[in-house]
């Protein structure tokens, strides 16, 4: 049975860790992917919770590159200069937490770390944290101080990775070496406070509802699932709110490295923070050249009403290796739909985006799911 992270994620991991993340503290806002009550983070879909020192750590609306679905992104401010990310990477089949699985994960994390240019592995061991076994993995490499890679600042990144059933729940912290010890101590405390259910809870008609960002929507119906499998090739250009995946009738022959995945349909809900106002037509004009540069053809371009707001509606078709992310490389005909709603909320300009990637043969059915979901969408604005 395959482990949660396998060999073919190593190159993706190195690529993502080398991406420079630019943090602007002008964008700091109270934003999370799940409900925050006082100092507690709770994700009802994945069935775990932990506490955060909210005097020191605040959610920040920045995009990050991970090997799974980011659940929350935290910063300890301009003085601490550290980034903490909690994310979940999933596999299609559930697997017991055995010594063999822990050893396999440890070895694969070591390969990911060694793929980063100039990296030095400082530790890689199994510990018991919050009553569960976890991989404690640390690597030091040139970076930016808040990301591995992309600079020359000596930077350290630590993973506390908890395998459970089909999931790997990861607390990750990154900081410049001279800022790292205090940041790691705080994130370690978050992980030690965590409580986990033994498996993902079953929820009836789950919704995303966050008053702080004025956004609510009902999850897409079955066969869509929260998160997804083999997300290493799926990088979202914004602050992720939710990711969903659905099986494909044609993608069982589409492989990523040495694996085959049938969950090639991907739907992301995220936000962008451009710092100024854009109209839907301006977003169309800006988006089309970048997408067509991959060889994709525009099938639909329009300004439509979505949730009572004017929205960009842009559908393109091109090629990919799996049908799950339009790259211009590969032999799988792939459609990509962008729905972008610019607005002002709490005095700030932002864009709410839904991004659907699907093998072209699946698109007609999957876009109907998205359209049904959008009928439940509520977007507040000033």
- Domain range list for the chain: 7-196, 207-379
More confident residue, 327 or 208: 208
pLDDT in tens, 155-182: 999 999 999 999 999 999 999 999 999 9
Is pLDDT larger for residue 327 or for residue 129?
Answer: 129
Q: How many CB atoms lie within 10 A of CB 203?
A: 12
Are 206 and 45 in contact by the 8 Å Cβ rule? The answer is yes
**Residue 273 pLDDT exceeds 70:** yes
CA–CA distance, 336 with 146 (Å, rounded to integer): 31
pLDDT tens readout for residues 9-29: 334 443 333 332 222 222 323
pTM (2 decimals)?
Answer: 0.83
Q: Taking the CB of residue 292, how many other CB atoms lie within 10 A of it?
A: 13
Average confidence (pLDDT) over 264-275 = 92
When mean pLDDT is compared across 249-258, 264-273, 308-317, the lowest value belongs to 249-258
- Name residue, tokens 């993340």: 21
DSSP conformation class of 224: -
33: which 2 tokens? Answer: 């992917």
pLDDT of residue 317: 98
For 7-196, which CATH class? alpha beta
Phi, psi of 26 (to 5 degrees): -70, -20
pLDDT digits (tens, 9 = 90+) for 294-307: 999 999 999 999 99
Asked whether residue 328 carries a pLDDT value surpassing 80, the answer given is yes
Strand-pairing partners, residue 171, are: 86, 160
- 283 pLDDT band (50/70/90 cuts)? very high
According to DSSP, the β-strands at 153-164 and 167-176 are: antiparallel
The pLDDT-based confidence of 242 (bands split at 50, 70, 90) is very high
What would the mean pLDDT of 99-123 be, rounded to a whole number? 91
**Three-state secondary-structure class, residue 129:** strand
Least confident of 36-45, 159-168, 331-340: 36-45
| Mean pLDDT across 185-192 | 96
Please say if the pLDDT value at position 30 is more than 90: no
The count of other CB atoms within 10 Å of the CB of residue 275 is 11
| Cα within 13 Å of Cα(337), Cβ side | 23
Instruction: Give the pLDDT of residue 17.
Output: 36
In this structure, the number of other CB atoms found within 10 A of the CB of residue 108 comes to 19
Tell me what pLDDT residue 78 has.
Answer: 76
Phi, psi dihedrals of residue 274, rounded to the nearest 5°: -75, -15
Q: Which residues contact 338 (CB under 8 A, 6 or more apart)?
A: 287, 312, 313, 314, 315, 353, 354, 355
- pLDDT on residue 257: 42
Contact partners, residue 213, CB within 8 Å, separation at least 6: 29, 31, 271, 345
Given this model, what pLDDT does residue 232 score?
58
DSSP helix/strand/coil, 367: helix
pLDDT > 90: percent of the chain: 62
Q: Quick one: CA dihedral 47, 50, 54, 58, positive or negative?
A: negative
User: What was the pLDDT predicted at 237?
Assistant: 85
CATH for 207-379 is 3.40.1000.10
């Amino acid at each position: 049975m395959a482990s949660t992270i396998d060999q073919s994620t190593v190159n993706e991991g190195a690529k993502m860790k080398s991406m420079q993340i630019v943090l602007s503290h002008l964008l700091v806002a109270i934003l999370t992917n799940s409900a925050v009550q006082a100092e507690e983070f709770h994700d009802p879909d994945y069935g775990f919770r932990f506490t955060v020192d909210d005097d020191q750590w605040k959610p920040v609306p920045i995009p990050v590159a991970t090997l799974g679905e980011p659940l929350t992104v935290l910063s300890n401010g301009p003085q601490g200069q550290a980034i903490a990310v909690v994310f979940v990477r999933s596999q299609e089949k559930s697997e017991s937490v055995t010594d063999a699985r822990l050893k396999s994960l440890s070895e694969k994390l070591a390969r990911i770390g060694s793929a980063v240019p100039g990296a030095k592995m400082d530790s890689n061991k199994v510990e018991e944290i919050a009553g569960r076994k976890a991989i404690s993995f640390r690597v030091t490499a040139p970076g930016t101080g808040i990301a591995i890679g992309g600079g020359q600042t000596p930077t350290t990144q630590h993973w506390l990775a908890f395998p459970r059933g089909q999931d790997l729940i990861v607390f990750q912290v990154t900081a410049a070496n001279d800022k790292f010890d205090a940041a790691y101590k705080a994130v370690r405390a978050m992980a030690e406070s965590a409580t986990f259910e033994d498996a993902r809870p079953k929820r009836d008609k789950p919704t995303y509802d966050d008053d702080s960002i004025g956004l609510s929507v009902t999850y897409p119906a079955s066969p869509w699932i929260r998160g997804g499998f083999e997300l290493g090739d799926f990088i979202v250009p914004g602050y992720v709110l939710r990711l969903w995946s659905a099986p494909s009738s044609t993608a069982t022959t589409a492989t990523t490295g040495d694996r085959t995945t049938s969950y090639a349909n991907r739907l992301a809900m995220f936000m962008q923070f451009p710092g100024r106002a854009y109209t839907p037509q301006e977003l169309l004009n800006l988006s089309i050249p970048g997408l067509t540069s991959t060889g994709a053809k525009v099938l639909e371009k329009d300004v439509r009403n979505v949730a009572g707001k004017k929205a960009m509606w842009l559908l393109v078709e091109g090629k990919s290796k799996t049908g799950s992310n339009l790259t211009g490389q590969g032999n799988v005909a792939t459609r990509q739909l962008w729905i972008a709603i610019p607005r002002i909320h709490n005095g700030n300009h932002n864009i709410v985006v839904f991004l659907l990637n699907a093998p072209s043969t699946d698109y007609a059915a999957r876009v109907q799911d998205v359209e049904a979901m959008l009928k439940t969408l509520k977007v507040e604005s000033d």
